Amino acid sequence: MEFAVDWHRCRFSMDGMRLTIAALPLVISVGFQAASFAAPPLPKIEITEIRAPASTEIIVQHGSNLRTVAAEAYGHQEFSRFVGQLNGIAVPERLRAGATLKTPSLPTAFRDAGLEPRYQPGINALAKAWQDLQVVLPQYAEVRNASGLRDGQSFPISPDLRAKLVKCADLMDAAIGLLQHPSNEHSVPQATIGQFEGAAASLRQLSTGTIGSRDYDVFMIQKRIGLGFYYALIWTQQREQ
């Protein structure tokens, strides 16, 4: 940070040992140098490294809905809008029993939707992070709940669990670095980037052991990731049209 005063526009007076500076007017300029953040290197992750759902097509059962299908296929109900968008379902309430929904792996869904190849490594990395988080987040929640502490308090978190959380955050940041790189003429919109940025930042917060919200910290990460993939799919499909 830089701090500067235009002394030529000030008047000084002495009263005993007290110095008075009267502004005419006093001009103070403060400058900030933006902190630079280098995204972690993006590892090479193939589409085949991301597990596909047990079934790449799900037949809707009586009483089920997009949220139950999303939880079965992608690990959380917050992927319901992604499933609806992928299958062209504009009104979820009209989903009928017996309908067949396609539920491929996340990278495959984007590839088949027409994603430009230059963006595929970023989607693969985000999908790998989500795949790992389906194991890591329940582990974190179990340790946090066992601590018995309240919001704003901190509990000891093992180096192994901390490393897993940070690794997933690094994967997301590396993917974001590719998806919004200035050299990409049509970079992914901020509606998508912002969701993954928020999820990565929250993961780093979890890794400190400080409890932000016992009720919502894990859920909000899951929600952000689900929304991030949903917005990214909309962008992919619109560019393909």
Check which CATH number belongs to the domain holding 81 and give it: 3.10.350.10
Q: How far apart are CA 141 and CA 215, in angstroms?
A: 10
The lowest-confidence range among 4-18, 58-72, 122-136, 175-189 is 4-18
Average pLDDT over the chain reads 84
**Torsional sign, CA 196, 127, 107, 82:** negative
Any domain includes 31: no
Any domain includes 45: no
Number of other CB atoms surrounding residue 120 within 10 Å: 17
Q: 3-state DSSP call for residue 67?
A: helix
User: Domain tally for the chain?
Assistant: 1
Any domain includes 74: yes
pTM, rounded to two decimals: 0.81
Any domain includes 149: no
Q: How far apart are CA 225 and CA 219, in angstroms?
A: 10
- Give strand pairing partners of 20: 13
Confidence of residue 92 (pLDDT cuts 50, 70, 90): confident
Any domain includes 92: yes
Any domain includes 62: yes
Domain that holds residue 72: 53-103
Q: How far apart are CA 91 and CA 113, in angstroms?
A: 20
Any domain includes 81: yes
- Of 223 and 37, more confident: 223
Q: 3-state DSSP call for residue 17?
A: coil
- pLDDT score of 135 more than 80: yes
Any domain includes 65: yes
Q: How far apart are CA 46 and CA 25, in angstroms?
A: 63
Number of other CB atoms surrounding residue 45 within 10 Å: 23
CA distances from 65 to 58, 81, 121, 241 (A): 11, 11, 31, 28
